[in-house]
Amino acid sequence: MFFRIFRNSAWLAGAAFGIAALPLLQRGESPHMLELVFTLTFLIISLGIHEAAHALVADWCGDSTAKDLGRITLNPIPHIDPFMTILLPAVLYLGSGGQMLFGGAKPVPVTYHRLRHPLRDMMFVALAGPASNLLLAVVFLLAWKVAVYFGGFQWAHYDRHGVWIEGHLLPAVLIQSVRLNLLLAVFNMLPIPPLDGSRVMTWLLPAPVREGYVALERFGILLVMGLMYLVPAVRDMVLTGVNQMKDFIDVCTGGQW
């Protein structure tokens, strides 16, 4: 049976942040630690939705492999890979003093030849994950606006005199959730195998080039880590994309209410 693998970079943040937070929480809960814990909670929920979206669209396109394995679920536990989700992020995070972070979720299996239109449908399955993160970013941003403009919550910012205004916990958690979901969406759409964007690129490429491009997946982890940490332009492009998408969804949700 032939499997195409989806590796979600989303768990890199959740796994490493959770590991880093545990000893701090044992020493008492500060506002920053509470923000970390609640943000991590929303991140885990977002990751479950991302993974479930892959599995759900695969099922819609004719392949029930992931559904049969119980992957259409918001429960994050079925998506955890002991090495990619826990061990690798922890080793990199702790070994680099918090400067390096990478990991992945348990692969979502898709049986290529069970899809009705394999090449095209692989693209649709891939797009489902980042699309779910974009939708979640909109939901979290709407929640932030309701909390700030109608709920009486203060957000952390500098006022017009340059004085820092401390904010409440809820807006901080919501805006971090917006940024993390946008980061997941933009990062996963990079056309680097095995990220989701590479499935779209595979569909777009002419047949003579496609096979060589797909073969790069065997070096996927090294490619992604190398480009993100050794090529500043790639990292800057991702961060710029996140900022531009945040501005875009801000306008789409009515700007300042």
Is the backbone of residue 254 left (phi > 0), alpha (psi -120 to 50) or beta? left
29 is catalytic: no
Residue partners of 73: CB distance under 8 A and separation at least 6:
48, 52
Q: Which long-range contacts (CB under 8 A, 24 or more apart) does 96-102 make?
A: 98/20, 100/229, 101/12, 101/13, 101/16, 102/9, 102/12, 102/221, 102/224, 102/225, 102/228
Amino acid at the residue 87: L
b/e string for 122-158 if b means 16 or more Cβ within 10 A?
A: bbbbbbbbbbbbbebbbebbbbbbebbeeeebebeee
Residue partners of 96: CB distance under 8 A and separation at least 6:
none
CB neighbours of residue 13 within 10 Å: 21
Place of tokens 């979901």: 181
Q: Which two tokens stand for residue 256?
A: 């300042």
Catalytic residue among 29, 35, 51, 166: 51
Tell me which residues are annotated as active site. 51
